[in-house]
């Protein structure tokens, strides 16, 4: 159809591109106000110990509730925030709100927070994060920073000094989306990491792709040897959960357990006696 109808599908594509560009322009114009007004807030997705089924942490995930567009996902506005230089201000307000939310959780429950590669280019980032911890009263040992491998590739020196200062203060480090980027064992040797998060593409293909399943097993083995926690992202089904458990994976995160929820709902997921069934599938 695309061939026979080349011109009109091209026109359709143009229109879609146009729409996309217009929407991005709109987000760019409105982002500053949204940040100032606090329209972008953290939601929290549980990290679960696969053996005990207990919630051991929450990952803060940014959500923009836009008056016209509705819920704008982070993949659409984080890049805009990076390009416009708003990422620092946005990230700091999200972190402060997340830390305050974490103070309502048991002290054994950690907060995971995403930092984008662009932010790691700023050498004072470590100090800024530590200042927010001090101001909100969340102990550094309860914070885990999630970075992707591209962050370590882009500006190695700045990343190294930021991550070292955080680590020395007791903040933990996780490598996010492992297996999708410049996966290099070099990073495991040269950065003191606490955790590897296996990208959800491996988890979703484990059942029908021998390679993915073997990669998961190998990473679990590597994790054991290096003293790292292995977390599987995107756990959606109980078969996946069972398979991960059988392969020795300690932690999981995914819609099987819960989507990201508001701070209030996060606290209610932690309430003793509340079983997992009521948290899943929202
Ligand atoms: P991420 O850090 O890898 O976060 C995991 C993403 O997978 C989240 O998407 C989450 O909602 C989604 N997810 C969780 N469980 C499942 C599942 O079972 N199935 C599927 N299909 N997806 C699942 P989300 O919230 O749209 O975030 C996308 C990305 O945006 C994040 O990927 C992270 O890189 C970035 N991000 C989110 N919040 C922030 C933030 O505050 N700052 C920065 N710099 N980046 C953020
Ligand atoms: Mg993450
Ligand atoms: Mg991830
Ligand atoms: Mg991601």
ipTM field: 0.98
| pLDDT tens digit sequence for 191-207 | 889 999 999 999 999 99
Taking alpha carbons only, the member of 144, 134, 63, 57 closest to residue 96 is 134
For 79, what's the count of Cα atoms within 13 Å in the CB-facing half-sphere? 6
| pLDDT tens digit sequence for 81-105 | 999 999 999 999 999 999 999 999 9
| pLDDT tens digit sequence for 15-50 | 888 888 888 888 889 999 999 999 999 999 999 999
Higher-pLDDT residue of 3 and 50 is 50
Q: At what angle do helices 156-168 and 125-136 cross, to 10 degrees?
A: 30
What's the pLDDT band for 188 if we cut at 50, 70, 90?
confident
Which ligand lies nearest to the CA atom of residue 198 in the structure? 3
Q: What does residue 16 show for φ and ψ, rounded to 5 degrees?
A: -70, -40
Which of 43, 74, 93 most suits a substitution to test ligand 1, by most atoms within 8 Å of the C-beta?
74
Average pLDDT over residues 140-162: 89
Alpha-carbon dihedral 224, 227, 231, 232, rounded to 10 degrees: -30
Task: Tell the residue nearest (CA) to atom 42 of ligand 1.
Answer: 114
> Which CA distances in Å does 212 have to 129, 209, 219, 231?
35, 6, 11, 15
Question: Ligand 1 mean position to 61 CA, how many Å?
Answer: 6
What six digits make up the tokens of 125?
């980032």
Question: Ligand 2 mean position to 174 CA, how many Å?
Answer: 9
What six digits make up the tokens of 219?
């990473």
Whether 165 and 126 have beta carbons less than 8 Å apart is answered as yes
Residue 211 neighbours by CB under 8 Å, 6+ apart: none
Q: In the structure, which protein residues have their CB atom closer than 6 angstroms to any atom of ligand 1? A: 45, 60-62, 73-75, 78, 91, 94, 114-116, 146, 176-177, 200, 233-236, 253-255, 260
Give the helix ranges, DSSP H, for the chain: 6-37, 74-84, 87-102, 125-136, 149-154, 156-168, 185-190, 200-205, 210-226, 238-246, 263-270, 276-279
């Amino acid at each position: 159809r695309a061939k026979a109808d080349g011109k009109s599908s091209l026109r359709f594509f143009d229109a879609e591109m146009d729409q996309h560009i217009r929407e991005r322009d709109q987000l760019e114009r409105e982002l500053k106000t949204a940040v100032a007004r606090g329209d972008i807030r953290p939601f929290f997705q549980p990290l679960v110990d696969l053996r005990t089924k207990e919630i051991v942490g929450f990952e803060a995930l940014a959500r923009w509730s836009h008056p016209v567009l509705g819920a704008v996902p982070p993949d659409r506005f984080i890049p805009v925030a990076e390009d416009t230089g708003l990422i620092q201000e946005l990230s700091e307000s999200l972190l402060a709100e997340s830390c305050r939310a974490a103070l309502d959780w048991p002290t054994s429950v950690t907060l995971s927070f995403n930092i984008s590669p662009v932010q790691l280019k700023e050498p004072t980032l470590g100090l800024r994060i530590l200042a927010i911890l001090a101001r909100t009263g969340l102990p550094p040992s309860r914070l885990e920073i999630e970075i992707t491998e591209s962050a370590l590739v882009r500006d190695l020196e700045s990343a190294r000094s930021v991550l070292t200062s955080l680590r020395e203060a007791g903040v933990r480090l996780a490598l996010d989306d492992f297996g999708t980027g410049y996966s290099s064992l070099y990073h495991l040797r040269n950065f003191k990491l606490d955790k590897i998060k296996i990208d959800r593409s491996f988890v979703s293909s484990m059942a029908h792709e021998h390679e993915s399943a073997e990669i998961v097993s190998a990473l679990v083995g590597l994790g054991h040897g290096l003293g790292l926690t292995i977390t599987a992202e995107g756990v959606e089904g109980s078969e996946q959960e069972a398979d991960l458990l059988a392969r020795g994976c300690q932690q999981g995160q995914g819609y099987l357990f819960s989507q990201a929820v508001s701070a209030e709902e996060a606290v209610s997921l932690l309430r003793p006696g509340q079983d997992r069934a009521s948290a899943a599938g929202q």
